[in-house]
Structure 1
Amino acid sequence: MRHQAVTVLGLGPMGQAMANVFLDHGYEVTVWNRTPERADDLVAKGAIRAPTVGEAVRAGDLTILSLTDYAAAYAILEQAKDELAGRIFVNLGSATPAEARQAANWLAALGAAHLTGGVLTPPSGIGTPGPVTLYSGPREVLDAHGATLELLTGIDYRGEDPGLAALYYQLEISMFWTALLGYLHATAMARANGISATEFAGTAAKTFAGMTEFFEFYAPRIDAGDHSGDVDRLSMSAASIEHVVRTAGDSGVDATLPTAMLEIVRRGIADGHAGDSFTSLIETLRR
């Protein structure tokens, strides 16, 4: 059975990892990068280095865009604008939902199909069991090329709207960076008080694992608009975060992060939610 021919545009660490996986599975892989030398190792392994974007796109049944952002995608695809009709593009670069929808419309107007993707793993996870990529766009396109895309990661399809994968991706990334920064801030306080990052790691892991119970308990209440203060109160949250701010100061650690959290909580209190749950802040954040 003939494997699909795959083109990879963009050979940063993620693009390199994807091209290598396809090569390992016997695919015909064509690559293109603004800096051609980045393809040297892949070419030595059997990839074809296309001299132009147009030749790269023509060579693949499927074209993977592994680029910094959608601005880079436009800059590259404009070089082959007249050759995009009938082609399939999977854009795995980060974008806002609006940018993903705009790109899908732009390609559709040129006769091409577009899937939005959000890769939820670093390059080291590509081709390994477990990681997933969020996808949205035409279901028939995903069905036709799913076997190829599953070589990279598992597939989490979010619907026809090309903006949905980008939206879910940004939701997860928002939580990821916020949580990671919280971890680093706590670790900085721990180290300032003689506790190593290794010693603290177990406690941190238990804290994050326990967050799933929070999500499961509060999500139905949030959907119902129920921010009753029967379990927790925003005034209690303010007092708790104030202690974190003071502990950071006493430890000689920058308190910008907990101070910003405290400011949001105080805004919620000013909105009249002192006796309501911490979840009432969702109303404050929406404004």
Structure 2
Amino acid sequence: MTVKRPKDLPAATSVAVGDIILIDGATGARALAATAVAKVAVGKTAAINNSLTLVGTDGTTQTFPSTSATIARTDAGQTFTGTNAFGVLTATSINGLTITTSTGTLTLANGKTAAINNSLTFAGTDGSTLNVGSGGTLTGSSSAGVFFDNLPQNSKSAAYTTVLADAQKHILHPSADTTARTFTIDSNANVPYPIGTTMTFVNQNAAGVLTIAITSDTLRFAGTGATGSRTLAANGIATALKVTATEWIISGVGLS
């Protein structure tokens, strides 16, 4: 073969398929053994027009000595196949998962916890189910999906109208308040509790008589079907369940 460079191969040089040809300004062109290493001088560039294939037992690793080394593709993003290990990545998306902040942190210890510093939102057709393992706690304050592993307390010693956060809680009229009070379930127009919401009312020992009222919707007494406000005596407990958008049913002990 003929090498068209300022310095051609010496006439006696034998070139075989698979040999590496080195051309430099000091020694001219010469063929290297197939096991030799082709080196690129510091600050220079080795341009591969089509593809670079690493084969053999040494073909599994490509090492970049500098922390500033870059694998660049000008027409599109890089494509990697197989299993790849990466260090620190800077990206806006991974496998379709969009990363919307460059400062947020998602920490997942081996077999442990995913910690979200601000909020975690589930959306789409897969957003309706969240499984919490044994001993886990799921809390919230929105109008839908408020869950507790107990029945949190809201203690009131004055007339009180319920709010959204009272859903799935018990409202206590404590012993220290011996004055008769009225606790009112707010209307659906003001507070649209989801159907299925429950609120439990507790009138503690020695507390004043408690009236359970409703703003403008229907409060129906379980068993009789009577509507209107109910009276809860001391040591009484009653639970109201929302069964339609504007109707609740209430039952309990010490309730009349």
TM-score normalised over the length of structure 1:
0.19
**Structure possessing the higher relative contact order (Cα contacts under 8 Å, 6 or more residues apart):** 1
More helix by share: 1
More strand by share: 2
